[in-house]
Structure 1
Amino acid sequence: MMDKFAALNAFVAVIDHGGFAPAARRLGVAPSSLTRQLNTLEGTLGTLLLNRSTRSVTLTDVGQRYLEDARRILDDLDNADRAVSEAGGPPGGLLRLSIPVAFGRLHVGPALPVFLRRYPDMRLDISLTDAVVNLVEERIDIGIRLGALAPSSLIARKLAPHRRVICASPDYIAEHGAPATPQQLAAHNCLLFDYLSGDSSWTLTRDGARERVAVSGNLKASGSELLREAAIGGAGLILMPKWLVGADIAQGRLVPVLEGWSVSPGPEEGAIWAVYLPSRRGSRKVNCLLDFLSDHFGSPPYWD
């Protein structure tokens, strides 16, 4: 007899992960097992859900409609399981998280041993990625997002502020001086984060005044930690969040400049957010982890 829920899970996984092989790796099964499940499901339904080729797997028109119902059924099952498992006793079960790479390494990873000792029935599956993942498609319970949030139906909880600072090493400042005004940034070697927008300007505000400065330098990178290391080595000025460089400033490896100017977004945009689906609202294990992280970061956060 076909396990209908397993077949639905296999169907959704094949679409979400772009094929049988990657879905099988994600689920920890053989690709042939998924193929059998999908063949059986299609045979039971009497229609094709997937167009298969040697290079790709795509949905048929019927498969597209069926996918929406399959996701809803799997979510309903997850919600029912969660309601029963969380009815009493300490929080337990699996949580899947997506966390930006550097922030996860510096500020989430070190705290997890304490969390797991405190809640031994909890299990965490964490994906470190700087991509903004689709929580539904990736079956993610909590996504950690930095800065501004795009409009969506997701529930957002602020965990900490996301303040930014311009800084350089003492050696760089001793050799080149510190900018006294935002416009003087244009004369400095500014190490640039490779934003997808391609924008290479920094915006500063003070007492209602707003200065947008086109900056340039001899190093651009998509990794914030690489730029931080280059700045510590004296390569130039960087604009980075306090959670990344706060310890360096406290220990004198980096020195902030233009401190009278704000380089943070607005109060609601400049935040570290946890986002989750409305169906996870009220989940004890979700709230348990978010309460823990919020307490761990502190108010103000320890990196400030």
Structure 2
Amino acid sequence: MRSFVRVAERGSLSSVAREYGVGQSTITRHVAELEQALGVTLLNRTTRRITLTAEGARYLDDTRTILRLVDEAADGVRSATDRLTGTVRISCTAALGVRHVADILFAFQDRHPGVCVDFRLSDVQIDLVREGVDVAIRLGALSDSSMQRKQIGASRRILVASKEYLDRHGRPDEPGALARHAIIRMSNVSGSDRLVLHRANAEPSILPVGDRLLVDHGLAARRAIMMGRGIAPTHLWLVNDLLEAGIVEQVLPDYSPEPVPLSILFVPGRARVKRVRALIDALHGALRALPGMT
């Protein structure tokens, strides 16, 4: 049943085989045996794609419920020892994952050594159901209304540059002066071709941003800042250690880019599985304590 559900979600026998670490023939056999036992065809298979039959679509919903109940029943048996076991799959934007979430997960596993964590880093917003992910940490506005979510807060952003860069090129004293500076731009962030800076009791300052250096990864932006490639709008949690060490400085401290919402997404029903619920709670508490969270 688990093999059938994952094939239905991913639309591929080979990808599910790789996910489970078995040969494709094993997954094919699982589905064939299930179809034989039921006496119906669940999947239409062609050389190009796999789709659900009408019977398969109806069976898929019931199977997901059954598998969730199996997990919950196992949790109930284990609750006498208060020991969590099983796998939790989590997806997170790469820079936040490397800088902070990995340590949160390590601490969680130290408390619950029976839990296997499958940690996936990607700046692409994935389909949680299709990829078999239990929990996702998302920066930015959310569009997937079918998922449950837990709001963490807003991630504060600031302007920073290395001390070496500012010593060479000067420290801007008002937003217009940024036009004379190199700006490190995130190419995969919508609207990054302009910089909108907010100041208390004032209209926002809107400045165009050039294309001298574009990066599509937060850790690449962090490295560019450290190496004196320019000024960058960035999340405080990405550079808090560099600020404390004096390697980078905040630029125009009275002005700040718009903060970005940070949320935990999870598949409806999965939070009733004890290990998933425990991880969501651990992440929620730890992420709220990140530098710059409001």
Q: Same fold (TM over 0.5)?
A: yes
* SS across alignment from 1:144: strand
Change (3 A) 1:198 1:260: closer
Of 100, 105, 109 in structure 2, the residue corresponding to residue 107 of structure 1 is 100
Of 160, 183, 190 in structure 2, the residue corresponding to residue 190 of structure 1 is 183
Partners of 1:155 and 1:275 within 8 A in 2: yes
- Alpha-carbon shift at residue 143 of structure 1 (Å): 1.2
TM-score by length of 2: 0.85
Q: Deviations over 1:103-123 (max 9, x none)?
A: 111212234443322222332
Instruction: Tell me what 1:50 maps to.
Output: 43
Instruction: Tell me what 1:222 maps to.
Output: 216
Instruction: Tell me what 1:125 maps to.
Output: 118
Instruction: Tell me what 2:15 maps to.
Output: 22
Are 2:267 and 1:273 aligned?
no
Change (3 A) 1:80 1:32: same
Identity level (%): 34
Instruction: Tell me what 2:279 maps to.
Output: 289
* SS across alignment from 1:127: strand
* SS across alignment from 1:179: coil
My pick for the range that moved more, 193-202 or 223-232, is 193-202
What root-mean-square deviation, in Å, do the aligned CA atoms of Structure 1 and Structure 2 show? 2.8
Change (3 A) 1:56 1:280: closer
* SS across alignment from 1:235: coil
Are 2:171 and 1:178 aligned?
yes
My pick for the range that moved more, 83-92 or 107-116, is 83-92
- Alpha-carbon shift at residue 192 of structure 1 (Å): 1.0
Change (3 A) 1:67 1:284: closer
Structure 1 unmatched runs, 5+: 1-7
Instruction: Tell me what 1:203 maps to.
Output: 196
Partners of 2:7 and 2:16 within 8 A in 1: yes
- Alpha-carbon shift at residue 272 of structure 1 (Å): 3.0
Pairing 1:251-266 to 2, within 5 Å after superposition: 251-265=245-259
TM-score by length of 1: 0.83
Which amino acid is the alignment partner of residue 50 of structure 2?
A: V
Structure 2 unmatched runs, 5+: none
Question: d(CA) in 2 for partners of 1:65 and 1:213?
Answer: 53
* SS across alignment from 2:128: coil
Question: d(CA) in 2 for partners of 1:297 and 1:49?
Answer: 42
- Alpha-carbon shift at residue 49 of structure 1 (Å): 3.2
Partners of 1:160 and 1:294 within 8 A in 2: no
Change (3 A) 1:202 1:275: same
Instruction: Tell me what 1:81 maps to.
Output: 74
- Alpha-carbon shift at residue 215 of structure 1 (Å): 0.7
